[in-house]
Amino acid sequence: MAQKKILVTRPSMPDMDEYTAEIKSLWDSHWITNMGAKHRTFQAQLEEYLGVGSAELVVNGHMALEMTLQAMGLEGEVITTPFTFASTTHAIVRSGLTPVFCDINRKNYTIDTSQIESLITENTCAIVPVHVYGCICDIEEIDRIAKKHGLKVIYDAAHAFGETRKGIGVGNFGDASCFSFHATKVFNTIEGGAICYKDRELGERLYDLKNFGIHGSECVSGIGANAKMNEFCAAMGICNLRHIDEEIGRRKKVHLRYRKNLNGIKGLSPRAVDHDVDFNYAYFPLLVDSEKFGADRDSIIEKLAENNIFARKYFYPITSSFECYRGMFDPEATPVAMEISRNILTLPIYAGLSMKNVDRICECIMECRPPAVT
Ligand SMILES: *Cc1c(COP(=O)(O)O)cnc(C)c1O
């Protein structure tokens, strides 16, 4: 019999009974969006869980990024990395800003802080680093550079839900941090996102952007859009937040099993885990050195697919080489990002993935190697 498909991730869902109990009151109130009771409850619980002063709930992670860039009134150039999901770069461009691509470091694939200053010009207004795969950026160095040059820092924290570094919640770093609660992320509200921020005025502008700039029934003081999180999504958030620590614990088991199986295999490097980070195990990236391993990234992906296992080429291609940006950026300007993106894959990881399946995935990978010539 054919094996069941294993996808790279599987959304976490509460028991159906738990969710229906949570949304029952919506049929009493008929208040299903526009910052109702679920929205208020979830917002407070989220701020507490993330250990942040303020979090604005929004419709998705992409709008969190766009709205933050717009609420800050930024103009000019933004330093960022091309080794990320399309959203990061699109949000910058769609906000009328020019991305300037900085390379990534080989240690954890986040922005190479030693190169940031050489990219700063009189037009630079902000840095948008990405905590890619949940690896937290070199926040101290980014902070130092930003202060010295008067730049805003907006973290794309879509991969870093619930993480802490030296005990501090990841949402506290920089001027703002944008989270995604998309179905495929560690924590989901079906679709959703949040912006963590410190500055009260920024919060007010974010709220304007989220709700048409409406303040009271007769006062519209801001030119806003609509990016509200509805009550059904907030209810999903309330339910999923109850189980998030357990979910992360189960992901950790999968992560450790992969590491045990793949440890010491020549040519395969699981990403390093920082010891001062309380990790969320969102992804399991594996870097392939095809010469040392004897097979390349693409042939591993193919072999897995033949066995109904679907790993992903995250992140390939790099955003600066997207078709829509052809001729605008030079992808060769970030050679490390280019090289990593050609040789990395992310393996399936989610709370319900069995150890048996993890072992099977690792066996498939091993079978890609040519027979030993002894
Ligand atoms: C998922 C993701 C986003 C966008 O979030 P959505 O909620 O899907 O809009 C932005 N940046 C990164 C790095 C992501 O992985």
Burial of 229 (0-12, 13-18, 19+ CB in 10 A): buried
pTM: 0.97
If you measure from the C-alpha of residue 223 to the centroid of ligand 1, how many angstroms do you get, rounded to a whole number?
25
If you measure from the C-alpha of residue 30 to the centroid of ligand 1, how many angstroms do you get, rounded to a whole number?
31
Q: Which residue, by CA, sits nearest to atom 5 of ligand 1?
A: 61
Q: Which residue, by CA, sits nearest to atom 10 of ligand 1?
A: 87
Rounded Cα distance between 317 and 340, Å, is 10
Pick from 88, 135, 161, 190 the residue to mutate for probing ligand 1's pocket: most ligand atoms within 8 Å of its CB.
88
If you measure from the C-alpha of residue 28 to the centroid of ligand 1, how many angstroms do you get, rounded to a whole number?
34
Strand order from edge to edge, sheet including 98-101: 54-58, 193-197, 176-180, 152-156, 124-128, 77-80, 98-101
User: Which residue positions in the chain have pLDDT lower than 70?
Assistant: 1-3, 373-374
If you measure from the C-alpha of residue 276 to the centroid of ligand 1, how many angstroms do you get, rounded to a whole number?
25
For the CA of 185, the nearest atom of ligand 1: 1
Q: Which residue, by CA, sits nearest to atom 13 of ligand 1?
A: 85
Pick from 69, 83, 156, 190 the residue to mutate for probing ligand 1's pocket: most ligand atoms within 8 Å of its CB.
156
Pick from 80, 155, 180, 316 the residue to mutate for probing ligand 1's pocket: most ligand atoms within 8 Å of its CB.
180
* Residue with token string 């995935």: 361
> Which residues lie with the beta carbon below 6 Å from any ligand 1 atom?
60-62, 84-85, 87-88, 130, 156, 158-159, 180, 182, 193
Would you give the end-to-end CA distance of the chain in angstroms? 35
If you measure from the C-alpha of residue 207 to the centroid of ligand 1, how many angstroms do you get, rounded to a whole number?
20
What does each C-alpha distance from 311 to 83, 302, 322, 347 come to in angstroms?
17, 9, 21, 5
If you measure from the C-alpha of residue 178 to the centroid of ligand 1, how many angstroms do you get, rounded to a whole number?
9
Q: What pLDDT is attached to residue 2? A: 55
Q: What pLDDT is attached to residue 370? A: 87
CB atoms within 10 A of CB 200: 9
If you measure from the C-alpha of residue 131 to the centroid of ligand 1, how many angstroms do you get, rounded to a whole number?
11
List the one residue out of 271, 253, 268 whose CA is nearest residue 350: 253
For the CA of 88, the nearest atom of ligand 1: 11
Q: Strand, coil or helix: what is 238?
A: helix
Rounded Cα distance between 332 and 339, Å, is 10
